[in-house]
Amino acid sequence: MHKPKLADARLRRGQEYFIADTDETGLGAVDAVRDDSAPSSQWGEAWRYLRRRPLFWVSALLILVALAMALVPSLFTSVDPRECMLSRSLGGPESGHPFGFDRQGCDIYSRTIYGARASVTVGVLTTLIVTLVGSLVGAIAGFYGGIWDTILSRITDIFFAVPLVLAAIVVMSMFQNRRSIWMVVFALAMFGWTQIARITRGAVMGIKNDEFVTAARALGASDARIISSHIMPNAAAPIIVYATVALGTFIVAEATLSFLGIGLPTTVVSWGGDISAAQASLRTQPMVLFYPAIALALTVLSFIMMGDAVRDALDPKARTR
């Protein structure tokens, strides 16, 4: 304890204050900054933010369940979704069949589980294709500018002006005899890459004049290396956010096409097809439609929530809006 020192002789008892010795203050130790720790990256900061958010863990859990249903449906049910008996038409729940039966006598629970395979497969494949195509088109347009930007931007605007579902309906109608998962992916990817192209173009234009790009060019790096190794990794954040949300959009688009009868063939179990078939039983047995519809809604909601969580993690400004 330091002894009280009077700053003025006129101070009364209780008005004393304490002054520490200079050599005990340790200002150098207080102001010292550790330089032995690795610098924190954008992705490291994003992960530290994500792991503290319940929204991220809830959406991740739902996505993992949807992926498990798509990849290994036998973990959830041993009933064949195509095994139907008319004698059980619109029957209620019973042992081994918790959701009951649809109009054709098929087990609703097994069809709900196996329906995830087609819907999630279409969503994942379409997202991968549109991300690759859109990123390539946007990167070339944003990096080179000039005539390349003009041509690619106008092509993007033409495809962007056509509504996605309407364009997919037209394409699927042209190939009625070749309906398959790959045909649905092709129809959706043909007109679904435009938004990612626009996002990538804007991100690349904002990065291409930064100092690290100028330094890479001064060191003799080629354009391809600059784009792939320097620009795209720094422009990936908005692309990842949009791709996560778009995956849910493509799942809904596939369900819409199957609901209209021009998407996947009836031999493929899908949520959209089951929702379409349940229309006839909507008034008498609404639960026939409820189960595939709620599975579709939860899957799409999980990707949307994941996109929101990732956006907040990668864009700190969005947290305060």
Beta carbons within 10 angstroms of residue 3's beta carbon: 7
| 2-14 pLDDT tens trace | 555 544 555 566 6
- Buried/exposed code over 258-272 (b: 16+ C-beta within 10 A; e: otherwise): bbeebbbeeebbbbb
Structurally, at CATH architecture level, domain 55-78+111-318 sits in Orthogonal Bundle (1.10)
Alpha-carbon distance of 147 to 136, in angstroms, equals 16
Quick check: 21 pLDDT over 70? no
Q: Where are the domains of the chain?
A: 55-78+111-318
| 31-84 pLDDT tens trace | 555 555 555 566 778 788 888 888 889 999 999 999 999 999 989 988 888 888
Q: What is the dihedral of CA 64, 70, 72, 74, to 10 degrees?
A: 120
Task: Provide the token pair at 248.
Answer: 């849910």
Beta carbons within 10 angstroms of residue 86's beta carbon: 9
Residue 39's pLDDT is 54
Alpha-carbon distance of 231 to 135, in angstroms, equals 11
Say if CB 38 and CB 306 are below 8 A apart. Answer: no
Instruction: Quote the pTM value.
Output: 0.80
